[in-house]
Amino acid sequence: MARSTMRTNKELIIKGVKYLAYTLALMFTAPVVLYQAFKNSEHSFYIPVLIVGFILAIGAIAMGFYSIKVLLDGIFTGNK
């Protein structure tokens, strides 16, 4: 029987799963902050809260791509 030489890098997989958890947190936090900003449009902190919400939303998208990249690198590159 021929054994496959392909191995997974467990450290990268764990790192990717941690990043996915951060992504999940950002995916819930960003819409809540944006909703609060749009709900209180007359408030003096409307613009700063709106900016923070957009930054969190962009961060969630970027973190999602990065976490999937790290996870796939851990699955397909193997130990070096």
Question: With b meaning 16 or more CB within 10 Å and e meaning fewer, what string describes 39-73?
Answer: eeeeeeeeeebbebbeebbebbeebbeebeebbee
Tokens of 70: 């790290």
What local confidence, expressed as pLDDT, does residue 71 receive?
93
Tokens 């749009």 label which residue?
Answer: 38
For residue range 23-71, list pLDDT tens digits in order: 999 999 999 999 999 998 898 989 999 999 999 999 999 999 999 999 9
Calculated CA dihedral for residues 56, 57, 62, 64, nearest 10 degrees = 100
What local confidence, expressed as pLDDT, does residue 37 receive?
93
